[in-house]
Amino acid sequence: MTMTERDEPLTPAGRLFVQPGMDQIINCAVSVDDPIDVEAVKLEISNSILVKHPRFSSIMLKDSCGRERWRKTEVNVDDHIIIRHQPLTDDPLISDEDAINDYLADLSVSTPLSLTKPLWEFHLLLAHNLAVLRLHHALGDGISLMSMFMSCCRRADDPNQRPITQGVGTSSSSNNRNVWRLLKKLVMVIWYTVVYVTEFGLRSLWLKDKKTAISGGAGVELWPRKLATAKFKIDDMKTVKKAIDNATINDVLFGVISCGLSRYLDLRSPKALKEGLQMTGVAMINLRNNLDYRTFQS
């Protein structure tokens, strides 16, 4: 297929996310108290920034060189709304939460997004008062996608107003103006950057992670999934954050994930984990100074 002037190439990260062995799709479940009004949902989506944004109103195709590109198209909202009227299970022993978790786990391996339309869709589970927003990761990163999602929401006490979000504040104390302190901080940043990049390079070239209970294999993207949920109070996470200097909520969340992963490996490993066991992972970090839903209003 020949390239047209309106085609936009995917970003390097976007191309990575559409590779057959990767194909990352975000499944976001949103529960509501009241029954879902399907027509109201369609109307809100039709009038939202969602269908106006270039990424959300473009299909993905390949040019003559095999490179992925975005091509603008007309959005038919009905094509992106999947409605399920019946409950996910009739078994009284299976809770709603477990049934929804099984549904999301199955979506992650059995239901890819169609390339004949923009790479997003809503699943409305009417019997559970639940909506599942499915987005291909090639559309953007988590921060920008959540900001766009927030731009489509309204406050419960005032439907004409968007939700209030607090940005990350910065302080300008005398310590920050101390030249020597800033210089020391710069040197430490450079030093740790060199150390971590060197360590990563050496591990990539000559070492590999040991086999563990969470190690993948050939065709891992098609393996059955199991989804489990855990609830944490945001106030508890804020308490932990305040107890640690320069910590963020994300730092606390990473600590929770690391602890859970360690306990899972202890539980599933036939032998005790060796002290100092290292596993390689990838964590996406937001480097933007300021990004919230107001960025997408224009």
Q: Residue 19, Cβ neighbours under 10 Å: how many?
A: 11
CA-based diameter of the chain, in Å? Answer: 67
Planar angle of CA 162, 163, 167, nearest 5 degrees = 120
The pair of structure tokens assigned to 216 is: 């993948």
Q: Which of helix, strand or coil describes residue 142?
A: helix
Please return the burial class of 108, using the count of CB atoms within 10 Å of its CB with bins 0-12, 13-18 and 19+: middle
Task: Give catalytic status of residue 80 as yes or no.
Answer: no
CB 47 within 8 A of CB 39: no
Look at strands 25-31 and 120-125 and give their pairing.
unpaired
DSSP structure string for 211-280: P-TT---TTGGGS----------HHHHHHHHHHSTT--HHHHHHHHHHHHHHHHHHHH-SSPPPTT----
Active site residues: 137
